[in-house]
Amino acid sequence: MCGIVGYVGPSGAGEKSVEVLLGGLKRLEYRGYDSAGVAVVDSEGHLDSRKRAGKLQVLVDDLEADPLTDGATGIGHTRWATHGGPTDANAHPHLADDGKLALIHNGIIENFSALKAELLAEGVEFLSETDSEVAAHLVARAYRRTGDLAEALRAVVATLDGAFTLLVVHADQPGVVVGARRNSPLVIGLGDGENFLGSDVAAFVAYTRRAMSVGQDQMVTIRPDSVEVVDFDGNPVETTEFDIDWDASAAEKGGWSSFMAKEISEEPEAVAKTLLGRVADGAVTLHELDGVADRLATIDRVIVIACGTAAYAGILGKYAIEQWARVPVEVELAHEFRYRDPVLDEKTLVVSISQSGETMDTLMAVKYAREQGAQVLSICNTQGSTIPRESDAVIYTHAGPEVAVASTKAFVAQGTALFLLGLHLATLRGTMTSEAIAEQVTDLQAIPEKIERVLESSERISTLAGWMADTRSVLFLGRHVGYPIALEGALKLKELAYIHAEGFAAGELKHGPIALIEPGQIVFVIVPSPRDPRSLHPKVVSNIQEIRARGARVIAIAEEGDAAVLPFADEVLHIPLAAPLFESLLAVVPLHVFGMELAAAKGLDVDQPRNLAKSVTVE
């Protein structure tokens, strides 16, 4: 939560900090949008700053009306409020040292009260209610002592508990931005005569595709021509450069009405790119797992850990891995897993799933699992993020940047990666014949084109959503892989359209939830294929009849040609035929479109729903 950007460029004519910082903040706004602010140091050693409550546009308008003096050095912040409400005063940057030092912060400083009391006793005046302002005054105090910004920040981080990425600039040190990180993200962008810092690579991908991560408990100092990384003890640290495989346009709306509309349209590509280079001649090859192949062959249990939408994708993985690789799989919310003293050993494979690679709950669960001796494999969409660094191996999904706060294309990419992992494990464990694997691979390769076809009928879903703009409650039912899809459909409606929505396993209906059904209640039902050998289809059709008999309005998502649901459903949204497990990747698409369209019909901001941030980097 919170997005941060830092920049140093050439001084002299054409200094462009403000432009770089606002561009970076625009791409990081998904991380929080309660307020935004920038601080700029010019080559004369003047520090100027501006910050405003509200979305970034409020700050942009303000700066247009009353521009800052630009400089070659600057920092920028977009906030998701934790300590103190979303006000101008609580917005970052926070100033200290008589306005000569500016600091931005992502995270939570847990011992801020004690530190603040100390500063108050020394007569320091606070202008905000934030934990971050405490850090600004502490760095200012240390700077007065050391005269060196990096040394001052290093002295301060030794006294802080909690999670933080901090960036600091000082008027006396034009051309320098200093940063430090613990449990919050920070990446470096390497330019030509200019360098960048950001919460993720989206912050600077418009300027450079060369990047380096800053590790846990490390500090970085950027100047126009140099980058220096040290640990919290001041020892130099070796860092490895990587190439960003997103281009700048991928992080732009490109003519779409919203990032979410664009990202849903990219679901076919997200699946196709995640398959790319990993399937050939009817076999699955995951070279990224070569280093852990020996240990993978000996696992006797898999635990999938993730949060929200990523956890629902995890349930798809459970069904696929158990069916194909015959190894027991549990799926657990990362925040529950970590605190329940789970039994883990070296034969446990923990699979963490995270689009951002920064979700704190998932990150902490990953660290915990490794401490307990389990091996951790991560499925992640963001290069340079923390979770892959903390894992034994990583399968990157190649969905491209996901900017809309609610996850869509990442879900289908995560499902695809899990299906690949299931087939890979089945190959290693010899639980499927090569013919059976080849059959699944062929079906999986056909999914992108089938998602395209589902998207072609989006207009019908928009019309339905328009009719339902006043709906107060929607239920979602599914069985087998339809169950996580029901959960995902409900979550999208809650977070995007602020409508009460619940997803249930259809078999659970008669154990309680059917009491919710009253005349007019809208229920989406994900209907499995009538070709399914497990005969789930007739069971779901019976469930539909049970709720119809009690007055529910049923919207069925069913396979093309499924005539059995027609007499009982008020609406049927058809999806192309696919193998039973892969139907999930098709059935979820109309639900993503529905959530987005219903939110739009209610006049809501689909990219930035209230109270949320994309990367949940606090617990």
Q: Which active-site residues does the annotation give? A: 2, 614
- Residues 475 to 514: which contact ligand F6R by CB under 6 A? 491, 495
Q: Is residue 385 part of the contact set for ligand F6R (CB under 6 A)?
A: no
- Of 297-356, binders to ligand F6R (CB under 6 A) are 307-310, 354-356
Q: Give the 3-state secondary structure of residue 563.
A: coil
Please report how close the Cβ of residue 592 comes to ligand F6R at its closest, in angstroms: 9
CB 170 within 8 A of CB 101: yes
Q: Residue 217: name the closest of 367, 337, 24, 9 by CA.
A: 367
CB of 362 to ligand F6R, least distance (A): 5
Q: Minimum distance between the CB of residue 381 and ligand F6R, rounded to whole angstroms?
A: 8
Query: Shortest Cβ distance from residue 388 to ligand F6R (Å)?
Result: 12
User: What are the distances in angstroms from CA 401 to CA 202, 246, 377, 565?
Assistant: 7, 7, 21, 38
Q: Beta strands of 258-334 (E only): which ranges?
A: 279-280, 283-284, 301-306, 329-333
3-state secondary structure of 212: strand
Asked whether the beta carbons of 218 and 232 are under 8 A apart, the reply is: yes
425 to each of 300, 325, 346, 547, how far by Cα in Å? 11, 6, 17, 40
Nearest to 232 by CA among 217, 220, 221: 217
Task: Give 258 or 615: the residue with its C-beta nearer to ligand F6R.
Answer: 615
Rounded Cα gap, residues 380 and 353, in angstroms: 6
Closest by CA position to 21, among listed 219, 242, 189: 189
User: In the numeric block, which tokens belong to residue 335?
Assistant: 């925040």
Q: Which is nearer to ligand F6R, 220 or 403 (CB)?
A: 403
Q: Which is nearer to ligand F6R, 354 or 458 (CB)?
A: 354
Closest separation in Å from C-beta 435 to ligand F6R: 35
Question: In what helix (H) or strand (E) does residue 573 lie, and over which residues does it extend?
Answer: strand 571-575
Q: Please count the residues of this chain forming the interface with ligand F6R, following the rule CB under 6 A.
A: 15
Tell me if 521 contacts ligand F6R by CB under 6 A: no
The residue type of 528 is: P
Element (H, E) at 216: none
Q: Are the C-beta atoms of residues 605 and 611 closer than 8 Å to each other? A: no
Rounded to a whole number of angstroms, the minimum distance from the CB of residue 184 to ligand F6R is 14
Beta bridge partners of 187: 198, 213
DSSP 3-state of 165: strand
- Tokens for 132? 């971050």
- Which residue, 160 or 353, has its beta carbon nearer to ligand F6R? 353
Residues contacting 430, CB < 8 A, separation 6+: none
**In the complex, what is the shortest distance from the CB of residue 369 to ligand F6R, in angstroms, rounded to a whole number?**
15
Q: What is the CA radius of gyration of the chain?
A: 25
Residue 556 lies near ligand F6R (rule: CB under 6 A): no
Q: Is the dihedral of CA 260, 264, 266, 267 positive or negative?
A: positive
User: In this complex, which beta carbon is closest to ligand F6R, that of residue 307 or of residue 425?
Assistant: 307
Q: DSSP assignment of 25-67, as one string?
A: HHHHGGG--SEEEEEEE-TTS-EEEEEEESSHHHHHHHHHHSP
- Asked if residue 78 binds ligand F6R (CB under 6 A), the reply is no
Q: Which is nearer to ligand F6R, 5 or 413 (CB)?
A: 413
- Give 407 or 416: the residue with its C-beta nearer to ligand F6R: 407
| DSSP label at residue 93 | P
For the bound state, the minimum distance from the C-beta of residue 400 to ligand F6R, rounded and expressed in Å, comes to: 14
Residues sharing a CB contact under 8 Å with residue 238, sequence separation 6 or more, in sequence order:
none
Site pattern 353..372 for ligand F6R (x: CB under 6 A):
-xxx--x--x----------
Closer CB to ligand F6R, 136 or 316, in the complex: 316
The smaller minimum CB distance to ligand F6R, of residues 220 and 307, is found at 307
Least spacing, CB of residue 412 vs ligand F6R, in Å? 13
Among residues 301, 411, 279, 398, the alpha carbon closest in space to that of 345 is found at 301
Of all residues in the shown chain, the one whose CB is closest to ligand F6R is 308
Q: How far is the CB of 402 from ligand F6R (least distance, A)?
A: 8
CB atoms within 10 A of CB 177: 26
Is position 407 an interface residue for ligand F6R (rule: CB under 6 A)? yes
Q: For residue 69, give the DSSP letter.
A: P
Distance CA 461, CA 573 (A): 8
- Is residue 274 a contact point for ligand F6R (CB under 6 A)? no
d(CA 105, CA 4): 8
Q: Between 139 and 307, name the residue whose CB sits nearer to ligand F6R.
A: 307
Does 199 participate in binding ligand F6R (rule CB under 6 A)?
A: no
CB-CB contact of 303 with 348 (8 Å): yes
Range 577-616, binding ligand F6R (CB under 6 A) = 615-616
Check residue 458 for interaction with ligand F6R (CB under 6 A).
Answer: no
406 binds ligand F6R (CB under 6 A): yes
The residues of the shown chain that bind ligand F6R, judged by CB under 6 A, are 307-310, 354-356, 359, 362, 406-407, 491, 495, 615-616
